[in-house]
């Protein structure tokens, strides 16, 4: 079963008429709104894991062990993301981008709402953290299937000379989702007060997820399937087992795509999750709102920088922009923790507010850099697997490892070294990845020529 041939014909017909421009705008909006909702839900969990869940779900543990346990449930969501990439990568390359994205949106919204309704351990005992983990897994599966579909919806509809810019629109969902989630958490922390926030205030932003999902579904139902995938259907070139085939044909690209994210994803979760607990803990004692407002400003800055660097990659090249951002991140980690540990409030606030600039330099061109590495019939699964495998080695363990490093070494510079190592890995992986910035990614021969030019040890059999 795949896309209805009539739907495929409508999509390819729209690509050659005046309807094309309208569909490009709809695709950009649909992908951005969808990823905004997905990341809003995902970041709510990160904020709650740092500020609420240790007391709510692990009340009998020490503050250190409770925080570790809370961040461990956070990590579970990252472990589930490659599973989601594989499941929805199969259907995204079989049924199409649009249908798959509707399912991921519903799954994320329902699981997030249920987290907002979940009683704590004092009411439900051990069942409460167990159910929290189950719902976190569903969140991870949903976001694992969401990213590549949203990116492809925008990239495959848009102007192929501006794929960097088009691919950056769904990346804006991270900034907007962070703004919404952090803003609402800040608002309800102020309205409810410290006690009320732990009791009910944190739940309201989770419950509002259903309203956002309704808006997202309405927008996504208005868009046609992408013309690139529609042409596959019309020419009967849809793969029967796309995930298996992309692993067999493009293992190198999948692994490199995961490694290029080391200096982007890992520091991101240090800045947006770990630092919340680091600065509000007893050793430093900054208020929740102090850190949340700084994070809100950081997300606002990233909102403008992500599309700028995506656009810049169309003229300068993906790899050049990306590697510059990775190198800056490697140095920034030391500056960042020097400011956080300065004990001077305004310097700490500046560090939190500027913390995502090197991330934006990488995140802007990242979607196109990764997605362009795979042919159309394998792109949903290939890009999704590469992107989400980083969750296991980069984003997922970030808060856990940072918490352990601080506990072991007693200094933020231990985390700075962790960030610097991630930057070195990213630079090496990006240098090894092909840059398709100016290539025709609708042409299978684009990838075949590169594979034939590789040394024999780097090749895998191509069907």
Q: Tell me the domain boundaries of the chain.
A: 5-458
Percent of the chain with pLDDT over 70: 91
Q: How far is CA 117 from the centre of its chain?
A: 25
**Reported confidence tier of residue 447, pLDDT bands at 50, 70, 90:** low
Q: How confident is the model at residue 15 (pLDDT cuts 50, 70, 90)?
A: low
Kindly state the average pLDDT of the residues 389-394: 92
Mean pLDDT of 430-435: 93
Alpha-carbon span 93 to 242, nearest angstrom? 6
Q: How far, in Å, CA of 77 to CA of 138, rounded?
A: 8
CA nearest to 389, candidates 80, 66, 12, 72: 80
Cα 222 from Cα 5, distance rounded (Å) = 18
Rounded distance between C-alpha atoms, residue 216 and residue 175, angstroms: 17
- Distance in Å from the first CA to the final CA of the chain: 22
Using pLDDT thresholds of 50, 70 and 90, give the confidence band for residue 16. low
For residue 454, pLDDT over 60 is answered with no
Average pLDDT over every residue of 113-117 = 94
At 49-96, the pLDDT tens digits run 888 999 999 998 888 888 888 888 888 888 999 999 999 999 999 988
What pLDDT does 98 receive? 84
At residue 135, the pLDDT reads 94
Give CA–CA dist 40/45, Å, rounded. 9
The answer to whether residues 33 and 216 touch, using CB atoms and an 8 Å cutoff, is: yes
- Pick the closest to residue 360 from 217, 263, 284 (CA basis): 263
Task: Give the number of other Cβ atoms within 10 Å of residue 458's Cβ.
Answer: 10
Residue-wise pLDDT tens digits, 259-277: 999 999 999 999 988 998 8
Distance CA 270, CA 46 (A): 11
Burial of 117 (0-12, 13-18, 19+ CB in 10 A): exposed
Task: Note the pLDDT of residue 350.
Answer: 97
Rounded to an integer, what is the distance from CA 376 to the centroid of its chain?
21
Q: Single out the residue of 317, 357, 320, 321 nearest to residue 336, CA to CA.
A: 357
**111 burial type by CB count under 10 A (0-12 exposed, 13-18 middle, 19+ buried):** buried
* 460 pLDDT higher than 90: no
Distances (CA, A) of 285 to 51, 58, 139, 277, 282: 13, 21, 31, 10, 5
* Confidence bin at 152 (pLDDT 50/70/90): confident
Q: How many CB atoms lie within 10 A of CB 454?
A: 12
Q: Looking at per-residue confidence, does 442 or 240 come out higher?
A: 240
Confidence tier at 158 by pLDDT (50, 70, 90): confident
Length in residues, the chain = 463
Q: Average pLDDT for residues 164-191, to the nearest whole number? A: 90
364-374 per-position pLDDT tens digit = 999 999 999 99
Mean pLDDT of all residues in 223-232: 83
pLDDT > 90: percent of the chain = 53
- CB atoms under 10 Å from CB of 125, counted, come to 11
Q: What is the pLDDT of residue 233?
A: 81
Buried b (16+ CB within 10 A) or exposed e, 155-180: bbbbeeebbbbbbbbbbbbbbbbbbb
- Contact in structure between 360 and 354 (CB atoms under 8 Å): no
Handedness of CA 18, 21, 27, 29 (dihedral sign): negative
What pLDDT shows up at residue 435?
87
CB 90 within 8 A of CB 241: yes
Which H or E element spans position 423? helix 413-432
pLDDT score of 18: 65
Find the mean pLDDT for residues 20-43.
83
Res. 11 pLDDT band, cuts 50 70 90: low
Structure tokens belonging to residue 75: 């990590």
Return the half-sphere exposure (C-beta side, CA atoms, 13 A cut-off) of residue 343.
1
Assigned token pair, 280: 């509000």
Tell me phi and psi for residue 462, to 5 degrees: -110, 125
HSE on the CB side for 171, CA within 13 Å?
33
| Local confidence band at 449 (pLDDT 50, 70, 90 cut-offs) | low
Instruction: Report pTM.
Output: 0.85
The pLDDT of 198-211, averaged and rounded, is 91
User: Which band of pLDDT confidence, cut at 50, 70 and 90, is reported for residue 226?
Assistant: confident
224 DSSP 8-state letter: P
pLDDT value for 463: 37
Mean of per-residue pLDDT scores for the chain: 88
> How many angstroms separate the Cα of 132 from the Cα of each of 114, 128, 357, 446?
9, 6, 32, 45
| CATH superfamily, with its number, for domain 5-458 | MFS general substrate transporter like domains (1.20.1250.20)
């Amino acid at each position: 079963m795949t896309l209805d041939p009539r739907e495929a014909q409508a999509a390819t017909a729209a690509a050659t008429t005046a309807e094309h421009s309208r569909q490009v705008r709809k695709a950009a909006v649909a992908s951005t709104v969808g990823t905004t909702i997905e990341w809003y839900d995902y970041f709510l969990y990160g904020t709650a894991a740092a500020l609420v869940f240790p007391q709510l779900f692990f009340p009998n543990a020490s503050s250190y062990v409770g925080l570790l346990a809370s961040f461990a449930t956070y990590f579970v969501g990252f472990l589930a993301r490659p599973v989601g990439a594989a499941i929805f990568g199969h259907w995204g390359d079989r049924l199409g981008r649009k249908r798959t994205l509707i399912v991921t949106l519903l799954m994320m919204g329902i699981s997030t709402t249920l987290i907002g309704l979940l009683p704590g351990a004092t009411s439900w005992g051990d069942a409460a953290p167990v159910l929290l983990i189950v719902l976190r897994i569903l969140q991870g599966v949903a976001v694992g299937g969401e990213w590549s579909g949203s990116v492809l919806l925008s990239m495959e509809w848009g102007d192929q000379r501006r794929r960097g810019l088009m691919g950056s629109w769904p990346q804006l969902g991270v900034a907007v989702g962070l703004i919404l989630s952090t803003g609402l958490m800040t608002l309800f922390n102020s309205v409810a007060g410290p006690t009320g926030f732990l009791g009910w205030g944190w739940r309201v932003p989770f419950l509002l997820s259903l309203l956002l999902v309704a808006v997202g579904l309405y927008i996504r139902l208005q868009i046609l399937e992408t013309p690139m995938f529609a042409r596959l259907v019309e020419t009967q070139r849809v793969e029967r087992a796309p995930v298996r085939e992309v692993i067999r044909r493009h293992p190198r690209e999948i692994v490199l795509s995961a490694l290029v994210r080391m200096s982007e994803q890992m520091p991101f979760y240090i800045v947006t999750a770990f630092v919340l607990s680091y600065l509000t803990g007893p050793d430093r004692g900054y208020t929740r709102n102090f850190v949340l407002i700084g994070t809100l400003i950081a997300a606002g800055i990233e909102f403008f920088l992500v599309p700028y660097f995506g656009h810049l990659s169309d003229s300068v090249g993906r790899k050049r922009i990306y590697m510059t951002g990775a190198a800056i991140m490697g140095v920034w980690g030391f500056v960042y923790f020097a400011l956080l540990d300065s004990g001077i409030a305004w310097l700490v606030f500046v560090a939190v507010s500027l913390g995502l600039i090197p991330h934006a330099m990488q995140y802007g061109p990242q979607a196109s850099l990764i997605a362009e590495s795979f042919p159309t019939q394998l792109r949903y699964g290939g890009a999704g697997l590469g992107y989400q495998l980083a969750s296991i080695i980069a984003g997922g363990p970030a808060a856990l490892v940072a918490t352990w490093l601080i506990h072991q070494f007693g200094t933020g510079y231990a985390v700075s070294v962790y960030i610097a190592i991630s930057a070195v890995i990213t630079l090496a992986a990006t240098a090894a990845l092909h840059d398709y910035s100016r290539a025709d990614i609708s042409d299978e021969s684009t990838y075949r020529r590169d594979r034939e030019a590789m040394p024999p040890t780097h090749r895998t059999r191509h069907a």
